[in-house]
Amino acid sequence: LDISKIEANRLDLHTSEFDLVVMINDVYAMSSMQAKSKGLTLLLENQLGASYWTKLDLIRVKQILINLLTNAIKFTEVGSVTLHVNTIEQGVCFKVKDTGIGMNTEQIKNIFECFQQGDNTISRRFGGSGLGLSLSQQLAIMMGGYISVESEFGKGSEFIFNVPC
């Protein structure tokens, strides 16, 4: 539904002031259960301190982080997933790094397209609709930010979400 609203220019952002650290800890706690059930280690590297008040769309930032962490956990069979958060000149940078299956150059080129999951073997093996990263990227752009990816096939991926605030 969100994809349709974005494409029709009908999705509105609702910014509010909130403590980003509280939201990050909430997302981390939710994702920890998923990681633990797979025998993975989920690490949080918070460079923001004990509190960091900002004005963003809380729901959409949370949605993007949950999506990135869920994907990282889904595509990691052994090892760890790390959520790193720090400030940048114009806002906040979130990095989700995993020791999962990684992607080749061709897969990276199409990763933010709707219904893309690398290739058919990935969608058969891991499931999912292939909409999450496309939606997340579009939401990030609506907030004036972006998501980029660095990956090495067989070694893992790192998704970087920068958002101004």
Query: Which residues, other chains included, contact 1 with Cβ-Cβ below 8 Å and sequence gap of 6+?
Result: none
Q: What is the largest CA-CA distance in the chain?
A: 43
Model pLDDT, residue 112: 83
Cα(first)–Cα(last) distance of the chain, in Å? 26
What mean pLDDT is predicted for residues 39-58? 98
Whether 128 and 74 have beta carbons less than 8 Å apart is answered as yes
Residue with more model confidence, 114 or 146: 146
Helices H, strands E: what count in the chain?
A: 6, 7
The residue range of the domain holding 154 is 2-164
Residue type, position 108, single letter: I
**Residue 116's domain is classified under what CATH number?**
3.30.565.10
Which structure tokens are listed for 51? 């509190």
Give the CA-trace dihedral at 123, 127, 131, 136, to 10 degrees: -110
Q: How many domains does the chain divide into?
A: 1
pLDDT digits (tens, 9 = 90+) for 71-110: 999 999 999 999 999 999 999 999 999 999 999 999 998 8
- How far is Cα 110 from Cα 80, in angstroms, rounded to an integer? 25
The crossing angle, in degrees rounded to 10, of helices 20-37 and 58-74 is 20
| Residues shown for the chain | 165
Q: Residue range 126-151: average pLDDT?
A: 85
Q: H or E segment at 37? A: helix 20-37
Quote the CA–CA distance of 72 and 74 in Å, as a whole number.
Answer: 6
Give per-residue pLDDT as tens, 12-38. Answer: 899 999 999 999 999 999 999 999 999
| Gap between the Cα atoms of 98 and 75, Å rounded | 8
